[in-house]
Structure 1
């Protein structure tokens, strides 16, 4: 009969328990000196050895020939306990026996002397699942327990156990086992089983187990059924994980704002039947490593990665800013929380990645910090010239007109051209409005659809905001008649989107233009241009009741 690895290699004495020396040494000394307590509380995460130590302790206190606090494993009592034939060792699952009646039956049995062992030991697993009434019933017998009774309570959530119960127990907190310790243990087991387990594969299993030895052994068991030579890739396939290459690819696409490439990668992973929630968890772990690396952390144990992976994290982190990493982390964490409440998990993930790659769509404080940091970097590098504030009272024109920006009342968007570098003040131009675009002379751009098609490859969000728009050419300006207010918001707040649009225009039209909003000329303005200026002056004077003498 085949036994699972975690059962086959379950520790039989305290010395075999790995990673819990702070507990096993104390328990061995208590047994050796005969100073055992009547109740214990073992708490810690799953797979760290709580139930295993409880069974070893039950054997040790009942062993006929204990060896330095460990059970001898050869006497009738030790063999009977391991076979499960000793009735004085009672294991109770509190998750299914959590009522008051179950604890009352236990209290009645506890009053009887043991049948074959020295002590009657009750091992109550997941004790936090007991009902309030059951806790109170258990408290009564733990206050004045019989001398021949020992209680060992095990739980993963000690905060749910009544304080009055905890105060009557010796509490032992089981720690998560170090990844390197688990990896060495797995290599030993693989050697005994005649399986080739590579070092990086053992470390990968240990990292996935998150400190749980039982989880690590179960995953190793699954990998052994898949291949005789276990590599890191075999481990990822058995655990349903994607390759780290995909994670670095996605983070690079997010940093480059390549939305189309992100959707293509997600589609490729979906074809491999990868669960979106699992991918989101992996991305969170990936960006956590980027955050730690960006902070200067170089501990492979803290990062839970291999040495060759650490070099890639350093290269990737150098291309990202800390606010950007934190922003993506929060978006991924919020998405993972929502995935449990939505039906279409893939759509939820795609929406999240779209926000990650398009800062203009994110109005959170992290996104604003990222934009400010990007602007500061551009100012420091000189890619954005600094404008000197104009002196007060030197010009009668409006500030927007002096900067060469068309005045537009119906739109919030202003021209995007950066101010010219600081230079000696030029002589006043004879016609200060000569550089402004003329709306009535603007000509439609017939290639606007081609421009939007090129833009859709690099910035789908901006292309969507320009849906139904038209554009006109007037001098050095491309005037856009947009329908969605989202376009105005994106252009104002995202310099990358603005430059992407200008690049698409330059690619089609062969020249770099400034951007501005389009305003259709009014009928009154057209009529004024067609009339004689003198006649127009006379007409307006008569309308206002001014006496006009014609000579």
Structure 2
């Protein structure tokens, strides 16, 4: 016989074999034993949690010739036929490929005929949410008033897509994700039964990767056993699941703890180069932070740590993190995960994340900072009001005595410079004045070479930038994120290094000018609309100068001239 996957070989055959759904299986067993089964059931929940298995067991149990406390015997002719998928009275339908009105009308027409072998004719409709609206309407009347010897079992992973009128005519059971401990117990039982040598740490990794699905866990286990030639090792499980090794996560988190972005990026590149999933990587960072938070909290919570993740090396660097920074890292990683799911440039997002959480000035922000900032601003406002009151009191006293009090200038408040203040529009306009497509293509050709001349940290910042315009004298470089534009624009040494390296590659003097990508279309439009003239003395010829004047004004100029006369009263 051909090889069968583990999840098929070890599919539950009785309610007691179903893992992690004790409440549902007990309810169904009692209903069968007391002959109080419903005519329609709805099984909903995540994939691989036992919905279809319970449907098949229920179909056997209600038709079994020798049931035991609501369980099928698996020995009678009906049970054997059902196990071998040759019982004509149990009809399985995949709604994903049979979702039309005609298929459901065919069921409605045949449902009136009595079962041929069993007591009940059972229809199992899998992925029922895929049915069309017309198909649901065709099914509705049959569910409401079915023949006495017919049972419907609907299974779905997306119950929110099923009409309320269908749900109200069924007994609904919500299958939950299976706990990690239950998955571990089941995999251990299977491996012991097959007499296969295994590593417990490898089982932990597979159970975590399954995300509550028993079928997923057995599929990954099957793959790992094939990879390791019927032996389950930690390395095999890491390779199959894409999980990080202890050395990789320790190296990365140590660099983060020591506030060393360059080393953290080097570790990141090694992890991504080994084929590890960026999404799995972020999940591991969150798990490590969660365990560090528990470890730093108190002895009671530290008992709940995941020992499969927390090695001694990670515990050794735990004192370098406080909970405030760990919360910050979790927030940043969670935000990055959303971007990873909708982007193909996962390495760029991971680089930005790495620099963010490894920068000490950014990461170590006390939780009381907003409150302290608010308190400080309130104190400054109070001091300012006190000064103004004092000045007004002095002025009133001086006026009462006939003395004029000099007006004190208001203290200047420092304002944070914005992105527009950092823009060097003169340099941008100068490049646009003689920009050509050939110069831009040349700039883009040397761009990879320019990136290779930078340090790891500099390269990470410049990966979100690209040339958008070029002339014989300079290149305009646009940044995807304003944050990186501001950081590079404020670093004069880095800007000079960029210009010098570009000049060396282009073999001519070349200035690098920076601009946020979001502002680039607006700046280019301003240049075109304002008719920039770089050859004129004023460098800019505005719209106002090229605009036609009023005819009445032109006539007045002819009569009186254009000299400006200052008229003074005698």
TM-score, reference length from structure 2: 0.63
Which residue does the alignment assign to 1:31? 32
Which residue does the alignment assign to 1:182? 183
Which residue does the alignment assign to 2:492? 467
Distance 1:327 1:314 in 2: 19
Distance 2:237 2:287 in 1: 17
Instruction: Please list the CA deviations of residues 13-69 of structure 1 after superposition, one character each: whole Å capped at 9, or x if unmatched.
Output: 112112222111221111111111111111222111110010010011111221221
Distance 1:456 1:55 in 2: 57
Which residue does the alignment assign to 2:238? 236
The range that moved more, 42-51 or 162-171, is 162-171
Q: Is 2:205–2:243's contact at 8 Å kept on the other side of the alignment?
A: no
Instruction: Please list the CA deviations of residues 169-198 of structure 1 after superposition, one character each: whole Å capped at 9, or x if unmatched.
Output: 222222222222221221121122221123
Distance 2:266 2:164 in 1: 54
Deviation for aligned residue 1:248: 3.1
Q: Is 2:42–2:173's contact at 8 Å kept on the other side of the alignment?
A: yes
Q: Is 2:489–2:514's contact at 8 Å kept on the other side of the alignment?
A: no
Distance 2:6 2:495 in 1: 68
Q: Is 2:225–2:232's contact at 8 Å kept on the other side of the alignment?
A: yes
Aligned 1:449-488 pairs, distance under 5 A: 465-468=490-493
Instruction: Please list the CA deviations of residues 49-93 of structure 1 after superposition, one character each: whole Å capped at 9, or x if unmatched.
Output: 110010010011111221221112122211111111122211112
Aligned 1:252-263 pairs, distance under 5 A: 252-263=254-265
Which residue does the alignment assign to 1:250? 252
Please give the secondary structure, in 1, of the residue aligned with 2:310. Answer: helix
Deviation for aligned residue 1:4: 0.6
The range that moved more, 47-56 or 135-144, is 135-144
Matched, 1:339 2:340: yes
Which residue does the alignment assign to 1:45? 46
**Residues 172 and 470 from structure 1, CA distance in 2 versus in 1: closer, same or farther, beyond 3 angstroms?**
closer
Distance 1:130 1:121 in 2: 18
Aligned 1:266-285 pairs, distance under 5 A: 266-285=268-287
Instruction: Please list the CA deviations of residues 449-484 of structure 1 after superposition, one character each: whole Å capped at 9, or x if unmatched.
Output: xxxx99989x9987874334899xxxxxxxxxxx99
**Residues 410 and 309 from structure 1, CA distance in 2 versus in 1: closer, same or farther, beyond 3 angstroms?**
closer
Which residue does the alignment assign to 1:192? 193
Aligned 1:14-163 pairs, distance under 5 A: 14-163=15-164
Deviation for aligned residue 1:357: 2.0
The range that moved more, 350-359 or 188-197, is 350-359
Deviation for aligned residue 1:204: 2.5
Instruction: Please list the CA deviations of residues 369-426 of structure 1 after superposition, one character each: whole Å capped at 9, or x if unmatched.
Output: 46939x99xxxxxxxxxxxx9xx9xxxxxxxxxxxxxxx999989xxxxxxxxxxxxx
Which residue does the alignment assign to 1:372? 369
Which residue does the alignment assign to 2:552? none
Deviation for aligned residue 1:324: 2.3
Instruction: Please list the CA deviations of residues 492-519 of structure 1 after superposition, one character each: whole Å capped at 9, or x if unmatched.
Output: xxxxxxxxxxxxxxxxxxxxxxxxxxxx
Deviation for aligned residue 1:288: 3.8
Please give the secondary structure, in 2, of the residue aligned with 1:196. Answer: coil
Please give the secondary structure, in 1, of the residue aligned with 2:492. Answer: coil
Q: Is 1:182–1:206's contact at 8 Å kept on the other side of the alignment?
A: yes
Deviation for aligned residue 1:302: 6.3
Deviation for aligned residue 1:214: 1.1
Instruction: Please list the CA deviations of residues 121-162 of structure 1 after superposition, one character each: whole Å capped at 9, or x if unmatched.
Output: 111112222222222222221111111110111122223222
Please give the secondary structure, in 2, of the residue aligned with 1:230. Answer: coil
Distance 2:456 2:239 in 1: 38
**Residues 409 and 25 from structure 1, CA distance in 2 versus in 1: closer, same or farther, beyond 3 angstroms?**
closer
Instruction: Please list the CA deviations of residues 296-338 of structure 1 after superposition, one character each: whole Å capped at 9, or x if unmatched.
Output: 58668965x2267276665544422333223222322222222
Please give the secondary structure, in 2, of the residue aligned with 1:268. Answer: helix
Q: Is 2:90–2:123's contact at 8 Å kept on the other side of the alignment?
A: yes
Please give the secondary structure, in 2, of the residue aligned with 1:42. Answer: strand
Q: Is 1:456–1:463's contact at 8 Å kept on the other side of the alignment?
A: no
Deviation for aligned residue 1:264: 0.8
Distance 2:302 2:494 in 1: 52
Distance 2:416 2:42 in 1: 66
Q: Is 2:63–2:120's contact at 8 Å kept on the other side of the alignment?
A: yes
Q: Is 1:300–1:310's contact at 8 Å kept on the other side of the alignment?
A: no
Distance 1:144 1:297 in 2: 60
The range that moved more, 320-329 or 48-57, is 320-329
Instruction: Please list the CA deviations of residues 324-374 of structure 1 after superposition, one character each: whole Å capped at 9, or x if unmatched.
Output: 2232223222222223433322122112222222365x6xxx87546939x
**Residues 464 and 105 from structure 1, CA distance in 2 versus in 1: closer, same or farther, beyond 3 angstroms?**
same
Distance 1:143 1:411 in 2: 70
Distance 2:165 2:78 in 1: 33
Q: Is 1:205–1:220's contact at 8 Å kept on the other side of the alignment?
A: yes
**Residues 121 and 312 from structure 1, CA distance in 2 versus in 1: closer, same or farther, beyond 3 angstroms?**
farther
- Tell me the matched-pair count: 407
The range that moved more, 83-92 or 282-291, is 282-291
Distance 1:161 1:196 in 2: 45
Distance 1:162 1:108 in 2: 22
Distance 2:332 2:207 in 1: 28
Aligned 1:315-354 pairs, distance under 5 A: 315-354=316-355
**Residues 131 and 287 from structure 1, CA distance in 2 versus in 1: closer, same or farther, beyond 3 angstroms?**
farther
Which residue does the alignment assign to 2:165? 164
Q: Is 2:325–2:365's contact at 8 Å kept on the other side of the alignment?
A: no
TM-score, reference length from structure 1: 0.65
Runs of at least 5 residues in structure 1 that lack an aligned partner in the other structure? 377-388, 393-407, 414-452, 472-482, 487-551
Please give the secondary structure, in 2, of the residue aligned with 1:177. Answer: coil
Distance 2:78 2:313 in 1: 56
